[in-house]
Structure 1
Amino acid sequence: MTPSTDDPNRRRGLRQALDQLGVDSPALWWSLLYFFCLLTGYYVLRPVREAMAASSDIEAIFPHGMIAFFADRGVSLGEFALQVIFTSVFLIMLVLQPVYGWLVSRFPRRVFLPVIYGFFILTLLLFYAMFDSGMPGRGLAFILWITVFNLFAVAVFWSFMADVFDNVQARACYGYIGAAGTVGAFLGPLLTKALVTRLGVANMMLVSAVMLVLCVVCLLRLRHYAVRRERARKLASGEQPMGGEVLAGLKLIAREPLLRWLALMVVMGVGVGTLLYNEQNAIARTAFSNAEQRANFFATLDLAVNTLTLVVQLLLTRKILSRFGIAPALLIPGCAIILGFSILAASPLPIMVAIVQVVTRASEFSLAKPARETIYTRVGREWRYKAGAAIDTVIYRGGDLTFVWLHKLLSAFGSNVVFGAGLLVAGTMTFGAWRLLREERKLPPERAG
């Protein structure tokens, strides 16, 4: 068949596929590009973060003054590096949550979304200078920054998607949007593996900054579709300041049963991941002698996670969400994690830790996360932008803080005890998913405003 005949047929087939999804094709394409660029930018830097967190060079992580402060009190920061990092992350989340609440309450969507990404772009340029000069303490500053970036940037992305798509469209499209992000998450580590040893860590900051600039272009293009949908459905306009209290998100979580169970499920999921993360870091710290080798190891692990995630997103996520709703997407990961931790509790071999880590993260990204995000298409803007962000930031990092210290306690008794506790955490997470499903059935089919 000639190209001139083949190409129109291909385009016609693509249009028919998009029509079956029930969405405007430009809105979907811009959303795909947006999430692709966002996760490419993040995953370029994630191996750098993991390498810094697992570094045995304590002066690369912490400032001299901080090291001396703890040393004067008989505490070696090298023994509590992860615990201090996670505590610092939680504290900075507590500070930033009201700042974020003030921003989304006082300014319309067209202002606060570009401002958030603009802040991250500017700070990436500062980190370029810090890593290029080898400034002491750059590790802690970067780890804090990238954790905040990952949580806030991704949280506002999904909140914005709930402005663009309704519930039916979200179930049809979120798997594909997630897949575009996974492709970006796949490309990021590849770029790091290809470039970091030749160009150095500092230049990875510039690569990520370019990706975030493209994110801003995408969100500006998508704003039109969000406005059009709000007008057609007579929803509260995102072009007006949201108003309300700065801490409304946390108050909603305390008041609403659905949000409480959602928060519990997220915290327990964080607990599962944190226990695995700490065991993984202990392995990397002893197995590799420098930051470049550790970055390469973590990049390889990310590639395995993203490969499995992409396969599930392309082949299963849409079918599960569209045909069966969110229940299987929430419960299947919980059951898989329970099985994995049961195996680890009996035989905590390093290779099994890596395998369970891959399965845990892949099931979260490909099934559980898209399923949870579709819930926000059926609630109001404060639930999406404030409560949703609070769960993904303060509540999330509170779970991190709790379990990183719990791991420190449990690790003294061996890996079997750590994974035995993880089994209980995974069971609680699955119970939280079941209760969340009961509350989700009470929501109206579409959001009210």
Structure 2
Amino acid sequence: MTSSPKAAASERRATALSAAAFFFVLTSYYIMRPVRDQLSGAVGSSQLPLFYLGTFVAMVVLTPVFGAMVARFPRRRLLGWSYCFFIACLIAFVPAFLAQARIGARELGVVFFIWVSVFNLFVVSLFWSFMADIFDSVQARRSFPLIALGGMAGAVFGPVVTSLLVVWLGVAPLLVVSALMLALALALLLRLSTHDAAGRASRAEEAIGGSLWAGVRELWSRPFLRYMAILMLLGDGIGTLAYALVADYAKSHFVDSAARTAFYAHLDLAVNGLGALLQLTATRWLLTRWGAGWGLVLPALVNLGLLVVVMIGGQGSVAVLGASLPLVAMMLAVTRGFAYGMTKPATDALYTRVPRETRYKGKNFVETTVWRFGDLVVTSGVSVLGTAGIGVGGMAFVGVLVSAAATWVARRAGLSPDLLPESPAVVPEEPADSQAT
């Protein structure tokens, strides 16, 4: 079955604008992310439970606030107000980072760590809820890997910008650059918000309605959301374990904030380079050929293999391009690379097959509150195991068991009985005299 040339052109235009918007969203995020991570590197993994406790409390408080906004306000206003608020916050944080030595890394770290997590709720997750709203399931499997590739380009560009500018400008002015990138993303999203991917007038001026607690309620009533919540807890636990171990490495090897910021920027560059490679090669083929469910299973299997390597190698290192890289840093880079390069577009493609309210409220509850609860549990567990004398190898063994369970849950999520049926396959028709837009 083919679509009209006009619909095909509209889909290409929506994909291109979405990819450009996601480029600027993740450029903004990956400029501020090393700024955040250098604070955790300054205090080590022992303070991460405090960071994640504050983040989890913030998510519990803000989940009904977000639900109320989604229920009451049209999508265009929700996007505009949310993004403008965070642009203003980025500018407001500049004086605090100029006074970091006086305020203290621990105190500033708690506040900024929580704020970046709230940013994820209202900016990054809202972006993908919006994407699931304007693309149908078949379009999503074609377009989401390309949109994610645009984001990966931003996620590579952000750390490069950070690595170059932090030496010349210092840490605080980077937040102004991040705010500018977010403003450009907002301009593109507002342009997109009035039509869907097929060029039809969209529901941009319709509030979604429903209960402000719908995200919490649907977690118990929808098998798909339950699977995604469990997968979030299990899968993200592996990345959080690696993050905690890398925080200890950064604390012991780097003495100042600029050096730690550069280290985390280089690590993000490796993560997103891998993610971009996956988008260019395996992800789109896997999603269109085998379905989005397999985009969840393969990363879980990769995590399982990585943890076996770390369990055997422990504190060892591996040579990468002539440089010695700790195994825990390699695990973090590869785990995140697959999470962003494959798991994320697969997950968001599956969310096109649930009702609209679930795309915004249920999805955001899983990707924020559930996610941060898992972070709190994992980092607290790492502290307890470390106090008990359990080393990296022992922690990796626990991770192997967790990752094996995540593989099974990932497969079940893709086959969940409450997912809506796939739309009939539509292949965009390309007229002989047309040119790509």
User: Paired residue for 1:28?
Assistant: 15
- State the shift of 1:443 in Å: 2.5
Which residue of 242, 259, 265 maps to 1:299?
A: 265
1:54 to 41, 52, 58: 41
Q: Could you say which residue in structure 1 is the equivalent of 2:370?
A: 395
What amino acid does structure 2 have at the position aligned with 1:415?
Answer: V
In 2, the alpha carbon distance for the partners of 1:151 and 1:287 equals 32
Q: Are the counterparts in 1 of residues 11 and 197 from structure 2 also a CA contact under 8 Å?
A: no
Alignment of 1:425-440 (within 5 A): 425-439=402-416
Paired with 1:387 and 1:441, the residues of 2 have a C-alpha distance of: 14
Residue 327 of structure 1, CA deviation: 3.0
Does 391-400 or 324-333 show the bigger shift? 324-333
Q: 1:354-379: per-residue Cα shift (whole Å, max 9, x none)?
A: 22211111111111111111111122
| Post-superposition offset of 1:87 | 0.5
Corresponding letter in the other structure for 2:422? P
Give the corresponding residue for 2:64: 98
For structure 2, which runs of at least 5 residues remain unmatched after alignment? 318-325, 425-437
For residue 406 of structure 1, what is the amino acid of its counterpart? G
2:359 is aligned, of 368, 379, 384, to 384
Q: Does the 8 A contact of 2:94 with 2:175 survive in 1?
A: yes
**Quick one: distance in 2 between partners of 1:19 and 1:334?**
39
SS of 2:195 mapped into structure 1: helix
Pick from 321, 332, 339 the counterpart of residue 357 of structure 1. 332
* Cα distance change, pair 104–20 in 1 and its aligned pair in 2 (3 A): closer
* Secondary structure of the corresponding residue to residue 224 of structure 1: coil
Residue 422, structure 1, aligned to residue 399, structure 2: yes
Distance 1:344 1:426 in 2: 13
1:290 paired with 2:267, answer no
Measure the CA separation in 2 of the matches of 1:386 and 1:325. 24
Letter in 1 for 2:339: E
Instruction: Note closer, same or farther for the CA distance 1:79–1:36 as it changes in structure 2 (3 Å cut).
Output: closer
Higher helix proportion:
1
Q: Which has the higher contact order (CA 8 A, sep 6+)?
A: 2
Q: TM-score, normalised by structure 1?
A: 0.86
In the superposition, relative to structure 1, how do residues 304 and 25 fare at CA in structure 2: closer, same or farther (>3 Å)?
Answer: same
> What is the CA–CA distance in structure 1 between the aligned matches of 2:283 and 2:409, rounded to whole Å?
21
- Counterpart contact for 1:166–1:446, Cα < 8 Å: yes
**Distance of 2:392 and 2:9 partners within structure 1:** 49
Question: 2: distance between equivalents of 1:19 and 1:323?
Answer: 25
Cα distance in 2 for residues equivalent to 1:442 and 1:107:
26
Q: Taking every aligned residue pair, what percent have the same amino acid on both sides?
A: 37
Question: Does the aligned pair in 1 maintain the 2:83–2:182 contact within 8 Å?
Answer: yes
Tell me, in whole angstroms, the C-alpha distance in 1 between the residues paired with 2:392 and 2:239.
15
- Aligned equivalent of 1:10: none
User: Partners in 1 of 2:20 and 2:351 — Cα distance?
Assistant: 21
Opposite residue 36 of structure 2, the aligned amino acid is R
**TM-score using structure 2 length:** 0.88
Partner of 2:75: 109
Question: Is residue 2:43 matched to residue 1:83?
Answer: no
Please give the per-residue CA displacement for 1:176-225, whole angstroms capped at 9, x wherever unaligned: 11111011010111111111121111111100000111111011110122
Whether contact under 8 Å (2:141, 2:288) holds in the other structure is yes
Structure 1 runs not aligned, ≥5 long: 1-17, 57-77
Provide the rounded CA distance (Å) in 1 between the counterparts of 2:353 and 2:133: 10
Q: 1:21 to 1:50 in 2, by over 3 A?
A: farther
Contact 2:310 2:327 in 1 (8 A): yes
**C-alpha deviations, 1:363-409, integer Å up to 9, x for none?**
11111111111111122111100000001110110111111111111
Q: CA RMSD in A?
A: 2.1
Structure 1 residue 441 displacement after superposition: 7.8
Distance in 1 separating the partners of 2:47 and 2:186: 35
Equivalent position of 2:162 in the other structure: 192
Between 101-110 and 405-414, the greater mean CA deviation after superposition = 405-414
Q: Tell me the distance in 2 between the aligned counterparts of 1:307 and 1:39.
A: 13
The number of aligned residues is 405
